[in-house]
């Protein structure tokens, strides 16, 4: 069995009052509510990160940039895609 360790969290009266109301609504203690919130956040964090990455990829998919095989594009870049000198 693991040992419990006390953690002190400083809240102002309004924050603590809000937590008490939330805990009372679920008929649990404030400590139990906070422990559950921490567990939820630990489980949810990777999903949030993955969701954010997916949103970014989806936003990029709306653009209409030229594309092609990486090797073909690399050759074009190396041989001078624009044969005009830069000013």
Note the pLDDT tens digit of each residue in 7-57: 999 999 999 999 999 999 999 999 999 999 999 988 877 777 888 888 888
- Find, among 10, 32, 8, the residue nearest to 20 by Cα: 32
pTM: 0.53
pLDDT value at residue 77: 81
Is residue 87's pLDDT more than 70? no
Q: How many CB atoms lie within 10 A of CB 80?
A: 9
- Find, among 3, 8, 1, the residue nearest to 31 by Cα: 8
Strand segments, DSSP code E, in the chain are: none
pLDDT value at residue 83: 66
- Find, among 20, 17, 39, 38, the residue nearest to 29 by Cα: 20
Residue 52 C-beta-side C-alpha neighbours within 13 Å: 6
């Amino acid at each position: 069995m693991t040992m419990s360790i006390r953690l002190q969290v400083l809240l102002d009266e309004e924050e603590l009052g809000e937590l008490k109301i939330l805990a009372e609504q679920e008929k649990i203690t404030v400590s139990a509510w906070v422990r559950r919130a921490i567990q939820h956040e630990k489980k949810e964090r990777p999903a949030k990160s993955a969701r954010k990455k997916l949103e970014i990829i989806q936003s990029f998919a709306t653009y209409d940039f030229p594309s092609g095989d990486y090797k073909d594009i690399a050759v074009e870049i190396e041989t001078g895609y624009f044969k005009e000198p830069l000013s």
